[in-house]
Amino acid sequence: MKILFVGPTLPDAGKRAGDIVVRGPAIQGDVFQAVEEGASVIGIVDGGFEYTAPVWHKEILYALSAGVTLLGAASMGALRAAECHLFGMIGVGKIFQDYKDGNRQDDSDVAQLHGPAELGWLSLSEPLVNVSATLEALVDRQVVSCSEADRLNAIARSIFFKDRTWRSVLERLDGIDEERRSSIVAALRHLAVNQKRADAIALLSVMSRLSDIRPTAKLEWQFQRTTLWNEMVKQHSVERRPGNLS
């Protein structure tokens, strides 16, 4: 079984997934439970972080120690892959690479405000990684200058992730006339880059090519069952008993 945790980054994942089981953004315990259900390949794109406990590094190590192929990209998955790639987690895409190489350090660069699953994970803000990718594309096409791109990127970074939209960014851009502002807006309609989506699609493509088996390769490290780990396992075992499901 292959399982992908995804939400607002790729709202149409279900139509692209084939035989891959698509679940919502991962929170703490979800990867552990997927391993217990027999998953051989697990992909993480989106994950909860603000009002729920995020995916725990320990459960990622548990999955890897059980022979599960674990991949991450685009959002929470890129963060965890950059943090755990030395243990065998596979990162996919530009955003992962930027975190792995130290070109990005702030987790909020991938954060995004969005609606619920019932509304198709409607995007309500612009993640900084998409802003940066778009500005790079605009510079390459000579739509904006390097100095304009630097100013726009700095403005975007200064805005809280829930409030960051292209409108809010451009409203704070001083020193240009309305004609110039309108030309940038027009360019954004046609040239905006959704790097998170592109990386998520790339991860889905990699997952589709992987064998649905757990390899038996020997690891160079050993998973340690700590007290906190045992408490988490106990908690999620209780939650999965009949009568405790929500």
Instruction: Say what the pLDDT of residue 216 is.
Output: 77
Instruction: Say what the pLDDT of residue 221 is.
Output: 87
Give the separation between CA 23 and CA 52, rounded to whole angstroms: 16
Per-block average pLDDT, block size 10, for the chain (246 residues)?
Answer: 97 94 95 95 94 91 95 98 96 98 95 92 95 96 93 96 95 88 91 97 97 84 88 75 32
Strand order in the sheet with 21-23: 21-23, 2-5, 41-44, 69-73, 90-92
Enumerate residues 6+ apart whose C-beta is below 8 A from 163: 125
In this structure, are 60 and 169 located in the same domain?
no
Expressed as residue numbers, the domain containing 171 is 117-195
In this structure, are 91 and 127 located in the same domain?
no
243 within a domain of the structure (yes/no) = no
Instruction: Say what the pLDDT of residue 49 is.
Output: 87
Instruction: Say what the pLDDT of residue 50 is.
Output: 83
Instruction: Say what the pLDDT of residue 135 is.
Output: 97
Give the count of domains, the chain: 2
In this structure, are 77 and 166 located in the same domain?
no
What's the angle, vertex CA 34, arms to CA 78 and CA 5, rounded to 5? Answer: 35
Instruction: Say what the pLDDT of residue 235 is.
Output: 82
CB 59, CB 38: distance < 8 Å: no
Enumerate residues 6+ apart whose C-beta is below 8 A from 61: 84, 87, 223
Backbone angles phi, psi at 207, to 5 degrees: -60, -40
In this structure, are 206 and 104 located in the same domain?
yes
Q: Which two tokens stand for residue 202?
A: 């790339």
In this structure, are 6 and 25 located in the same domain?
yes
